[in-house]
Amino acid sequence: MTHIAIFVSGNGTNCENIIHYFARSSEVKISLVLSNKANAYALVRAEKAGIPTEVLPKAEFIQEDLLLNLMKKYHIDFIVLAGFLLLIPEFLIKAYPQKIINIHPALLPKFGGKGMWGYHVHEAVKAAGEKETGMTVHWVNGQYDKGQVIAQYKTSLSPQDTPNDIAAKEHILEIKYFPKVIEKIIKAEKH
């Protein structure tokens, strides 16, 4: 059994989707949803699904003993960032080498880096006049959105698309593919 922690900062539609996807799995258990924000709606979604939740504000999140002990408490083997806005500390990356992934709402390396999250990304895609956008799943390293790309899925855009339209098209890809990518990584890890 692979125990997953999902790290979130916001609404949590991807978090909820992942929880539902693995609800009946005999190989994967969502063991913890952790947020840096006590008011993240993702925590409500997790609690409704019966998943344990924890809140660690940034000052606590960067404390090595505190965070690593929390991961041990829930027997965490793998970490999924689903709309988590804090930079992952080096000590966590060392404790979980090639075991932390992130989703980004654009086709990296375009439109990544500090400050490029959520609606900001979709506004930048629109401003650049892109003909397509998509989602990227990548390994987490010590820099925002710079880890090795694992998977990308694309959708076409029209010149009339607003940032909201772009967000909606991209989010369809996240809901469809993100849990499948997680499952594929975990299966590959076991072989």
Q: For residue range 79-112, what is the model confidence (pLDDT) as tens digits?
A: 999 999 999 999 999 999 999 999 999 999 999 9
Tell me what pLDDT residue 174 has: 96
Name beta bridge partners: 101: 80, 139
CA gap 40, 105 in Å, rounded: 19
Instruction: Indicate which residues carry an active-site annotation.
Output: 104
**Nearest residue to 130 (alpha-carbon basis) of 109, 103, 161, 151:** 161
CA gap 42, 118 in Å, rounded: 15
pTM: 0.95
Give buried/exposed letters for 74-111 (b at 16+ CB in 10 A, else e). bebbbbbbbbbbbebeeebbebbeebbbbbbbbbbebb
Overall size of the chain counted in residues = 191
Q: For residue range 30-80, what is the model confidence (pLDDT) as tens digits?
A: 999 999 999 999 999 999 999 999 999 999 999 999 999 999 999 999 999
| pLDDT > 90 in the chain, percent | 92
Radius of gyration, CA atoms only, the chain = 16
